[in-house]
Amino acid sequence: MDISVELKGVTKTFGDVTAADNINLEIERGEFFSLLGPSGCGKTTTLRLVAGFEQPTKGEILINNVNVSNKRPYERNVNTVFQSYALFPHLTVAGNIRFGLERKKTPRDKMQKLVQEALDLVQLKEMGDRFPHQLSGGQQQRVALARALVLRPEVLLLDEPLGALDLKLRKAMQLELKSLQERIGITFIYVTHDQEEALTMSDRIAVMAHGRLAQVGSPEEIYERPKTRFVADFIGESNFFSGEITAVNENNLHLKSDGGLALILPPDQGVSVGQHVNFSIRPEKFKVLPQTEASDWENQFVGEIINKIYLGDSMHYVIALSPREEITVFLKKERTAQQQVSFSIGDKVLVSWHRDDCVILAA
Amino acid sequence: MERTSLRIRILKFFNRHPNTRAFSILFPCIFWIGIFFLLPLVLMAVYSFLERGLYGGVSWIFTWDNYARFVDPLYLKILLRTFRISFLTTVILLLVGYPMAYRIARAEKRWRNILLFLVILPFWTSDLIRTYAWMLILRDTGLLNHLLQYLHLIREPITMLYTEGAILLGIAYVYLPFMVLPLYASIEKLDPSLLEAAEDLGATPFWRFLKVTMPLTKSGILAGSLLVFIPSVGVFVVSDLLGGAKAMMIGNLVQLQFGPARNWPFGSAASFILMTIVLLAVFGYLKFSGGKEALEEVR
């Protein structure tokens, strides 16, 4: 495996606040890697440590297998796209892009070519002579990107680069960024608090909470197999249950939930009879049928609809399964499915779900 | 009822004559500038072309002599010294004031106001008293010479008072806040993420200062330089007390002509020559540094 960036036990404290706590990460060359978490989780600090704006209190940072922990930002082959873009207001777009090249003592004619290429890359061909304040937010964002990419860094660091754009533009830029990254093959480390953004763009995601890594994995792993309640809650939406294991066999776990439901869960190592466990189910995993019909899935219960929300392309129902257990269910509106049936508040319905859709969470 | 209708009548009048409305607002300002600035200026302009009166005052006889007299090497030397001192003061204050302003602007918030307060603190006493204090420090039997002798660094006192250096020091001391405050204002506005961006793009601290910090704080540099240079050209108290007769500045010359020498026409001519040169210098400076836009940005 070709490692681009490696963090070994990196810790950063500010006074008595630990912003990054024993972070261990290996990021592959050419990977689109996201640091995802709520504000204050340490994701930006981690990025700034890689950039060199902060020095680790403990641990080592390796870029291209070289320890750069105590190197200044200008000595590292990484570049940053800042959240505020940080374009130099006194320089033109071309001047901004040239800034780093001038430091590298690039020959004049080559520089001209590189600047033009960078402008083409971000589709700002004609904008070289403009000043940053004459550009829209999206264009400024592209200039920031071009300014960093023109230096061909080993790693490109992006600190919530789309945060200031409106929703439509953000969606478009997500796709554009992703395809750009695939084309040029530079390692991207992308900081965001937007879980959807991270899921769409990343090869791998590190979910962070309280300065620690909560889980590292592919978007699918993170979404389908969250390890902790925090991850399950932060990424998408989840229904949480807890209960006591009543029986363990080869294929199934049997569990009695706190609300008294007898449930079947997938087998899990390290779980024994009598143990109290937490697990989650994604709201789109449920099947909801009129009470009179039957489902062939392992878990099925009769519940009562207590709320419904119309969202255009889908319906959200809140269903009480037991006096203590309410679940949220997302139903896509499909033309062909029988689920076309719309339920009303107060209706009794049959809710069923597959054994394997229950994800057991670490305590 | 009565009052309201009067108000409405006034408003209607202004609506019919929009120009009088603007004038009525500007009137106090125009009045003030007219009486206390323009009128004396015109008076001086007229005086500068007249002959001196026998017992002070002026005789109403037209002459160019007051201006012609200035070509005398004696006066040209004073003029040259004045601009040399003012220029050096400005440069020294830039070199001293910039790091100071930078440090204050980047200090923790609770320290910032305290430090700014300390910069302004000397204004609480008159600069006359502060200049006298410098005399006590600099003279042959003063604090500094005593200290150096006590430390056996020198045997004979060094002459510090009544030199150009003393004037330089005195003016720089008095005008330091005028340099630091505008610099502080522009540095404080500087977005720290721009400095990080520069470093990120490979700029060493020196290059970063040259290419980002300085251009972006140009307005402060220009404002500070002008605020120091222009008044320091007209200084006379500091140069009188710290420079003595040997290092006369043009301010002293003007003061002398209006005071003991009783030659108002020549004093007026000297003032106008000074004013013209300062105007040209400032204009050239702004033109050269592209500073007009920068100063407009400050507003």
Strand positions, DSSP E, chain A: 3-14, 17-28, 32-36, 58-63, 66-67, 78-81, 155-159, 187-192, 204-209, 212-217, 239-248, 253-257, 262-265, 276-281, 287-290, 299-310, 314-322, 325-332, 348-353, 359-361
Average pLDDT taken over every residue of chain A:
91
Own/partner pairs, A171-178, CB within 8 angstroms, 24+ separation: A173/A138, A173/A141, A174/A200, A174/A201, A175/A200, A177/A145, A177/A201, A178/A32
At B275 the pLDDT is: 92
Of chain A residues 98-117, which have a CB less than 8 A from chain B? 99-100, 103-104
A273-324 pLDDT, tens digit each: 889 999 999 999 999 988 888 888 889 999 999 999 988 888 899 999 988 8
Percent residues over pLDDT 70 in chain A: 97
- In degrees and rounded to multiples of 5, residue A335 shows phi and psi of -65, -40
Cβ contact A280:A226 at 8 Å:
yes
Cβ distance A104 to B202 less than 8 Å, yes or no, reads yes
At B12 the pLDDT is: 84
Q: Which amino acid is at A282?
A: R
- Out of A72, A78, A86, name the one closest to residue B197 (CB): A86
Residue A335's pLDDT band (boundaries 50, 70, 90)?
A: low
Residue A160's pLDDT band (boundaries 50, 70, 90)?
A: very high
pTM of structure: 0.82
Helix%, strand%, coil% for chain B, nearest 5:
80, 5, 20
At B122 the pLDDT is: 86
Using 50 as the pLDDT threshold, list the residues of chain B that sit under it: 298-299
B195-248 pLDDT, tens digit each: 999 999 999 999 999 999 999 999 999 999 999 999 999 998 888 889 887 778
Cβ distance B196 to A82 less than 8 Å, yes or no, reads yes
Is the minimum CB–CB distance between B190 and chain A shorter than 8 Å?
A: no
At B127 the pLDDT is: 84
B26-52 pLDDT, tens digit each: 888 999 999 999 999 999 999 999 998
Written as six digits, the tokens of A194 are 């937007």
Is the minimum CB–CB distance between A90 and chain B shorter than 8 Å?
A: yes
- Out of A78, A86, A87, name the one closest to residue B196 (CB): A86
* CA-based nearest distance B199→chain A, Å: 5
Cβ distance B200 to A74 less than 8 Å, yes or no, reads yes
At B209 the pLDDT is: 95
Is the minimum CB–CB distance between B68 and chain A shorter than 8 Å?
A: no
Of chain A residues 127-166, which have a CB less than 8 A from chain B? 147-148, 151
Contacts of residue A148 in chain B, CB cutoff 8 Å?
200-201
Cβ contact A23:A56 at 8 Å:
no
Average pLDDT over residues A201-211: 95
Closest B-chain CA to A100? B201
